[in-house]
């Protein structure tokens, strides 16, 4: 009897010790994640201020932000733009690689990063240019970085108060106005009779363009009066949303006429 109790006691101690070790490892990981994320965020916050630009003798159409993005691109060739939504944590360089995998877990310097980067779909063709700037970013809910704040757009009032997306390239300082916020998911290859909206980058024709706009408007979480007409530039911001398997939240906006 005493032997059985001793065995159970030793087994309990082993389980307890394993649990303590697991909790310590988890705590160390969380501390490291927060510390590393804060370090990366501070570097990103200072990125625009770190470049030297000459604003003298510039055309009036060239803004300071355009010059900053141009200077950054000279240092980091994969930077194609700067994305900002005032009143949120979304204020980042936009990367574009040769695939859609690299910047999932690398920063703008090409270094490994838990947070990843905001990146433009590899299929976007700047020489046309394509119809839809399709951007991806992690939903880093632990620290609120990258596209975590996109989840706030589930709230209609938040959308009304943060309805403008700023997208700056070396050639243009543009603003986009939101026309839709919707939930969806990535479909399995075996699924038929579904619209794979995340493939829409460049419309073959007006019908294909309108198909995308009709889909995002019909599936919007709430009614937004503004829409887009064929030929207008679109931007779509996409992040993970965990209410369904392979879930995604997308914010769609059209370019304002300046």
- Convert the pLDDT of each residue in 169-187 to its tens digit: 999 999 999 999 999 999 9
Count other C-beta atoms under 10 Å from residue 197's C-beta: 21
- Quote the pTM value: 0.85
183 φ, ψ (degrees, to nearest 5): -105, 145
d(CA 94, CA 118): 5
Please give the C-alpha separations between residue 3 and each of 9, 11, 12, 186, 222, in angstroms, as whole numbers.
10, 12, 14, 56, 67
Res 25: pLDDT: 65
Specify the pairing of strand 118-120 against strand 234-240.
Answer: unpaired
pLDDT at 8 over 70: no
pLDDT at 37 over 60: no
Res 247: pLDDT: 96
d(CA 103, CA 94): 10
pLDDT digit string, tens, across residues 62-110: 999 999 999 999 999 999 999 999 999 999 999 999 999 999 999 999 9
Res 50: pLDDT: 83
pLDDT digit string, tens, across residues 127-158: 999 999 999 999 988 888 999 999 999 999 99
pLDDT at 254 over 80: yes
């Amino acid at each position: 009897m005493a032997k059985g109790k001793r065995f159970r006691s030793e087994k309990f101690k082993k389980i307890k010790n394993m649990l303590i070790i697991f909790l310590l490892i988890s705590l160390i990981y969380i501390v490291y994640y927060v510390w590393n994320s804060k370090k990366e965020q501070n570097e990103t916050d200072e990125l625009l201020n770190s470049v030297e630009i000459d604003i003298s003798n510039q055309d009036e159409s060239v803004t300071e932000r355009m010059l900053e993005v141009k200077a950054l691109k000279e240092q980091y060739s994969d930077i194609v733009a700067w994305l900002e939504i005032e009143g949120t944590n979304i204020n980042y360089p936009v990367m574009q690689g040769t695939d859609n995998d690299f910047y999932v877990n690398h920063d703008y310097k090409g270094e490994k990063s838990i947070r990843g980067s905001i990146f433009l779909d590899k299929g976007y063709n700047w020489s046309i240019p394509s119809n839809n700037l399709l951007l991806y970013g992690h939903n880093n809910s632990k620290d609120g970085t990258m596209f975590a704040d996109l989840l706030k757009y589930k709230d209609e009032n938040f959308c009304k108060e943060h309805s403008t997306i700023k997208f700056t390239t070396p050639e243009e300082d543009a603003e986009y106005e939101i026309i839709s916020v919707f939930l969806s998911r990535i479909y399995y290859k075996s699924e038929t009779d579904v619209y794979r909206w995340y493939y829409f980058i460049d419309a073959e024709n007006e019908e294909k363009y309108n198909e995308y706009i009709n889909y995002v408007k019909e599936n919007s979480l709430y009614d937004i009066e503004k829409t887009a007409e064929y030929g207008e530039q679109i931007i779509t911001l996409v992040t993970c949303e965990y209410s369904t398997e392979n879930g995604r939240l997308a914010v769609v906006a059209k370019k304002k006429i300046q």
